[in-house]
Amino acid sequence: MKRIVPIAVLWAAAMVPAFGCERPAAPTSIPDGASASKEDMLAAKKAVDAFKSGMEEYFTCEKSASKISSAQEELVKVADRFNVQVRAFKAKG
């Protein structure tokens, strides 16, 4: 019995990083910069920044190169979509 407990503890400790490596969800919507309020754009910026931070954590724990590549592509797409709307917001003056 004394040997079973340490083995179970080691197994559980080894599994924790695997459970902690979850890919964050991208923001569900980015407002139209041409009609959005400043508050809407700031809220979107916070959501995109949180997504970026979550992805950076994900990159440190994910071991699969293909999953990391896919996540990086998604991050770039979200950033590009947001930047288009920021430019539209700034253009409306």
Burial class (CB in 10 A: 0-12, 13-18, 19+), 11: exposed
How confident is residue 61, by pLDDT bands cut at 50, 70 and 90? very high
pLDDT of residue 4: 56
21-31 pLDDT, tens digit each: 999 999 999 99
| Cα–Cα distance, 48 to 30 (Å, whole number) | 9
pLDDT band at 93 (very low <50, low <70, confident <90, very high): confident
Give the Cα separation of 14 and 3 in Å (integer).
17
Structure confidence by residue, pLDDT tens digits, 42-59: 999 999 999 999 999 999
Instruction: State what percent of residues in the chain have pLDDT above 70.
Output: 78
